[in-house]
Amino acid sequence: MKKITAGLFTSVDGVVGEPAAWHFPYFCEELGAAVTEVLGGADTILFGRVTYDSFAGAWPAREEAGEADAPMAKSIGDARKIVASRSPLEFTWRNSEQLKGELVEGVRALKNEPGDGVIGLSGSVSVVRQLLAEKLIDELHLFVHPVAVREGLRLFADADSPLPLALLSCTPFKSGTVHLVYGPSDGPAVDNQDPMAAKIEQDYADSAE
């Protein structure tokens, strides 16, 4: 089964929208290497329509320019690129295709295709939200920048219930950005809960009845 990884720049208050407005002062070699590993290690890239249009409007020209980021541009260009959209699409960027069917069912089918490659996601917040809710993302890479943006699109929208995640790794960078990697979870292990926390939780539940 294929693995799905998603990577997002985020502020400490959870904003993921318009990172170009606040991300670059915290860019460093460590961050660049980590982002390249997350996306560059994928043989398939899944996009929402808006993110795909942004990539398609920039990366082919960067590849053609042949400058420092040309190898990364070529890697993205060579990868299989799949776009989730309900509207019919036409493509000019090589190796691009439209996801078949509805998002969740289509992604499940992708994961079950032969082979054990990696499907990468960059941006595409709406897609990430839906796949997280269905536990289809194996690794969620959050690059948490040391800034509170205080307005803008947040990764996690309001919902009726919590979304538990399992912390897989935590790596601080010299810029102050922290690379957090999460995986799906059914919730905290009850047998690992601190006894005092368990008592407080029970007291709270009793008082709410």
CATH number, domain of 100, equals: 3.40.430.10
d(CA 132, CA 118): 16
4 burial via Cβ count (<10 Å: 0-12, 13-18, 19+): buried
Task: Over range 101-112, report the average pLDDT.
Answer: 96
Q: E-strand spans in 12-164?
A: 44-48, 80-84, 96-98, 118-122, 139-145
Percent of the chain's residues with pLDDT above 90: 79
Determine how β-strand 44-48 pairs with β-strand 118-122: parallel
- Residue 100 belongs to what domain range? 3-208
pLDDT digits (tens, 9 = 90+) for 13-55: 999 999 999 999 999 999 999 998 888 789 999 999 999 999 9
CB contact at 8 A, 15 and 157: no
Q: How many domains does the chain have?
A: 1
What is the pLDDT, as a whole number, of residue 191? 67
Is the model's pLDDT at 203 over the cut of 90?
no
Mean pLDDT of 102-110: 96
* Sign of the torsion formed by the C-alpha atoms of 32, 123, 93 and 45: positive
Beta bridge partners of 180: 142, 170
Whole-prediction pTM value? 0.89
Crossing angle for the helix pair 125-133 and 103-111, to the nearest 10 degrees: 70
pLDDT score recorded for residue 190: 66
Is the CB of residue 122 less than 8 Å from the CB of residue 51? Answer: yes
Give, as one character, the DSSP assignment of residue 108: H
Angle at 11 between CA 153 and CA 20, to 5 degrees: 70
Give the count of beta carbons closer than 10 Å to the beta carbon of residue 206.
8
Which sign, positive or negative, has the C-alpha torsion 142, 73, 60, 26? Answer: positive
